[in-house]
Amino acid sequence: MPRPERRPLVQRPRGSAEAKLRTSVGSMLARIYASRGIESKDDLDLSMESLLDPSGLTGMDVAVNLLHGALERDARILFVGDFDADGATSVALGMTALRAMGCSQVDYVVPNRFEFGYGLTPEIVAFAQSRDPEVLVTVDNGVSSVEGVACAKALGWQVLITDHHLPGAELPAADAIVNPNLADCGFASKSLAGVGVIFYVMVALRTRLRELGWFAEKGLTEPNLAELLDLVALGTVADVVPLDRNNRILVRAGLRRIRNGLVRPGIAALCGVARRKPERLTSADLGYALGPRLNAAGRLEDMSLGIDCLLASDIDDAFERAERLNELNRARREIESDMTEEALAIVERIEPDEGMPVGLCLFDEGFHQGIVGILASRLRERFHRPVIVCAPASGDAPASGDGADEVGRAELRGSGRSIPGFHLRDALEAIAVRNPGLLQRFGGHAMAAGLTISRWQFHRFAEAFDSEVRRHLSESSLTGILETDGELEHDELTLDNARRIELGGPWGQAFPEPLFQGEFDVVVTRPVGERHTRLVLSLGDRMVDAIAFDTRVDADVHRILAAYRLSIDDHDDVETLQLVIEYLEEI
């Protein structure tokens, strides 16, 4: 049965460097930074000069040699991307950079998840033959594509893999592989997104071409690769990779360019349809407003729409594509809502004496293959446990009356999301080792992964997944604790502090935006739309506006315990303080 909604609020441990940081950032930010592992003022230096050097990535020299050779002979280069925002930004970045370096024959293909599945599969290689490439460059995929690379090499193509996913036991026989998560790679940041990896490759290639006098010889203006940082910021945040210091440098630089108006038409158009002001854009906007609209193409149709939006040089052309992405995102929300309702009904039907699995695995005939990852995230947040959601692979759902054998041959595609302390990709590998043949394909990260299984194996897989989760987590691990940065005094509830937090980021995965807790008297409640509530709260002599999304607060509630964020409401271009309530309970 569903867990109760009440959640314990626990203050993050105060870091040892808090006192040392106070002189440079003030007491509030010192407490916040120290609890996130910041040890000194130097750790807060997010200048591009502090970015890790590309030479630290294993395979970089080989990759640069390959691309330099391709440019010298004007080879036909084909990018193979993933069908999410990281893949789309990676393709757009790689193509834009190579064109600026003199490549006249560069194109892309992106797998349609409903036809080809993920990565450089033999099927996508066969599809790519019509483009007659000489060099394949994978972005945000490829490190597990053993068969696909073999097919490409058999056709005489060179293959460069740029990826950030965890490799399997066997690496593909590519001409070059650049991936910070290779076992022999000593690069200090293992958290680069796919777009970060291809950005590093292009930086290293430009350095090589500069040293060789390439740009002067070809009569080219040396490209300013900082112009690509808006793509890097969007792809990095949208892929929810940990924002370690190196990633924060990249995201901060990209956000600064966007806020200063140095933004490509495609991202400007996404800001427009999402009703976000580029000059006020934050990492949260990238993750919750722009990223989902870009991802909607890959979830419901074809990510080429998103890539073409990012590649558009004309703002009107970009807006036309962004409007279509916005329409797809609205459709995605409707499908997600229906799927969530059905998923909760499935959970409700679990017999009380059976108890909810610690590792929750759900499947329904009506689930949409492109939305299962979002649904897994929603269920993970609600039930505070690792979740995998499966849907029929497109075209594989058996017709009514088909026999058991045909049902058994059909595939399910699954997407999972995890919680801290449970490495999802490693868990799938352990399941595959213990149950040969159960998993047809899988891959991913600690917190997110994808897989393919046979339909008739679903129940066996669900049991194996629950057993694997129980090996690592107990029921006591599933409390759904909300970590906060403690309480603020009434005189700290200020617009200036909200500005300090906004400028003190970028915030994101593994470097969370500050969340505070406190008890408030409720002065006013007002429903907004069908699901939200605006409030006026008081703390001491301080009155402050607040909003609770997806939450109804009854008019007879007079006092609450809340977990909230300080935010800036700039309605009608007038900035005021607003608390965004993430969790509340009546007291």
CATH number at residue 128: 3.90.1640.30
Looking at the structure, do residues 315 and 385 belong to the same domain, yes or no? no
Residues 100 and 232 in one domain: yes
Report the b/e string of 243-276 with b at 16+ CB within 10 A.
bbbbbbbbbbbbbbbbeeeebbbbbbbbbbbbeb
On whether the CB atoms of residues 318 and 345 are closer than 8 A, the answer is no
Q: Confirm if 512 and 504 have CB atoms less than 8 A apart.
A: no
Q: How far apart are CA 363 and CA 48, in angstroms?
A: 46
Domain total in the chain:
3
Residue 322 CA to residue 294 CA, distance in Å, equals 8
Q: How far is Cα 312 from Cα 298, in angstroms, rounded to an integer? A: 18
DSSP letter for each residue of 216-283: HHHT-PPP-GGGGHHHHHHHHHHTT----HHHHHHHHHHHHHHHTT---HHHHHHHHHTT--GGG--H
Helix segments in 475-574, DSSP class H? 495-503
Q: Which of 429, 446, 477 lies at the terminal end of a domain, its last residue?
A: 477
SS3 80: strand
Same domain as 527, residue 462? no
Tokens coding 453: 């299984």
Q: In what order do the strands lie in the sheet with 77-80?
A: 106-109, 77-80, 135-139, 158-162, 176-178
- Collapsed DSSP state (helix, strand, coil) of residue 152: helix
Is 311 within the bounds of a domain?
yes
CATH of the domain at 519: 2.40.50.460
Residue with tokens 């607060």: 553
Per-residue pLDDT of the chain in tens (587 residues, 90 and over written 9): 333 357 789 999 999 999 999 999 999 999 999 999 999 999 999 999 999 999 999 999 999 999 999 999 999 999 999 889 999 999 999 999 999 999 999 999 987 777 776 789 999 999 999 999 999 999 999 999 999 999 999 999 999 999 999 898 899 999 999 999 999 999 999 999 999 999 999 999 999 999 999 999 999 999 999 999 999 999 999 999 999 999 999 999 999 999 999 999 999 999 999 999 999 999 999 999 999 999 999 999 889 999 999 999 999 999 999 999 999 999 999 999 999 999 999 999 987 667 889 999 999 999 999 999 999 999 999 999 999 999 998 754 433 344 434 444 589 999 999 998 899 999 999 999 999 999 998 988 888 899 999 999 999 999 999 999 999 997 777 878 899 999 999 999 999 999 999 999 999 999 999 999 999 999 999 999 888 999 999 998 899 999 999 899 988 999 999 999 999 998 777 899 999 999 999 99
Based on the domain organization, do 453 and 489 belong to the same domain?
no
Same domain? For 520 and 425 the reply is no
Q: Domain range for residue 205?
A: 55-327
Structure token pair of residue 430: 């352990």
